[in-house]
Structure 1
Amino acid sequence: MKEHLTEHNPCRDVEVSRLRSAERTPLTLEEAISLRQALHGDELDGKRVTIWLALAGGVRRGEALGLTWRYVDFDNMRVFIKHQYTENKALRETKNCRSRWIAIDDGTARYLRTWKAVQVRRMQVQGLSQTPNTPMCPDGDFGFHDPDNFSTWQRGYLIEHGLGRMEEAEEGGRKRRRYVGYDFHELRHTQATFLIGSSSARSSATAAPPGSRSGGSRRPRPPISWRSSAGRARPSPSTGAGSPSWRGRLGADVATTKHTPSLTSEVIAAGPAGDKAQDDKMLSTQERPHL
């Protein structure tokens, strides 16, 4: 072509198929409930709060790690996603460059309130004060958590709870260990999958906070209240959202989420009062400062 020996480039006739992105497999309802129960019983820290936010709000890893308390609106049960904390240790705009509100349910609000109080006490021990700019999901020094370090911890945590494993694979004549199992993307897609299952999953428009650009926020996603599914159908791969009974149950959960704890099961089945009692117990046992 450069030497003008031909007028047609034969490479333009070649049709190249686009690479298909890997399919995301969300957690089953039972796995999601089990993981949230584990998180609820664990000692609170920024890493576990990050996992909770993925399950409860469908936030991305960088978005959770970039959250500060300034953007948590407990009065209106919502969190404003404005930044992401990236692997090059910088706060940047979100992936799609659009800020947004996400709604949180009662259980998540209590979980975050409890964590906020625990964080205050731990910072006081080190002579620090919690401010609106303090990261919600910090590292051990209460700064922004390194995304790579978080991912390393996350894989170990998911293995511990039966949601992943390490296996040996031979590559280039060498045996290497690799992680196989759920990842952060699957956690956040779990929330989206449950949301899709409900035809009533709609939320009224919420105004963006002062200073946000017009059209930069979205309607907040309604929080999902995951109840125990013992003896009930789980989401079916063949039908996508699941059986009609599952859709109906999820729709009822969404419709009543303002009055329903986010984590109810055989273990936590006493309703809002019982759930709050467990939160209070968790706070009383975790407010002792870590030296």
Structure 2
Amino acid sequence: MYDFEYVKAGSVSDALKALSAGDAQPISGGQTLIPTLRARLGQPSALVDLSKIAELKGIEVSGGKVKIGGASTHHEVAESADVKGAIPALAALAGHIGDPAVRHRGTLGGSVANNDPSACYPAACLALDAAIHTSAGDVAADDFFQGMFDTALEEGQIVTGVSFAVPEAANYQKFVQPASRFALVGVFVAKSASGVRVAVTGASEGGVFRWTEAEEALSGKFSPDAVPAAPPADGMIGDLHGSPEYRAHLVMVMTKRAVAAC
């Protein structure tokens, strides 16, 4: 390991000040960043620890929204009575991320900011029409996720929290890649008065996306038999775990399962 400075931020303003100096990187749960450092894929001059900032903690339900602080762990989201009561599908999603060690360290803000193409939270953000709260302002989920590992965050900015809209019904179906516990394909379906949103993770080379054809069909008839045929395989991920065609087929299958479970 190489030398770097470690800064334990006590507030958001302290964190932003530290991040503005040199090649500093924020760290919360460290579930992605630490393996990156060990593999020498990144060498920041400083790590700015966000995990103890009180402003980034907490879960609140108000006005048809569930607001979760960016430093809240997956375990805290999964076990929150407020989340279970308002959006059970979101609590269930958090409870099946990785393993217990990952869930007790990994954070909502870290997952959203990293935008791994197979991560679960980005799908929940899109399906639940979330607002991503950042140190520079709020960004709609539809505008925040911009491609594989790419978001609207600028250098030196952090995710401070996420507000999810409470749906009439929702469900997340995850076809697990056994070694990593990431989604080989994951589909989050949410039904509200304004229609149905279907978000897909793990499938596309472009990262998380909304399956608009399914949204249109399900907004007209909310039933598994209304789910359209599998989306095109073009642009889907192909690797040793599954071909593009296999992933495209899974998108259809997991969407049907999610609708049936709502």
After TM superposition, the score normalised by the length of structure 1 is 0.25
Indicate the structure with greater helix content. Answer: 1
Higher relative contact order (CA 8 A, sep 6+): 1
Indicate the structure with greater strand content. Answer: 2
| Bigger Rg, structure 1 or 2 | 1
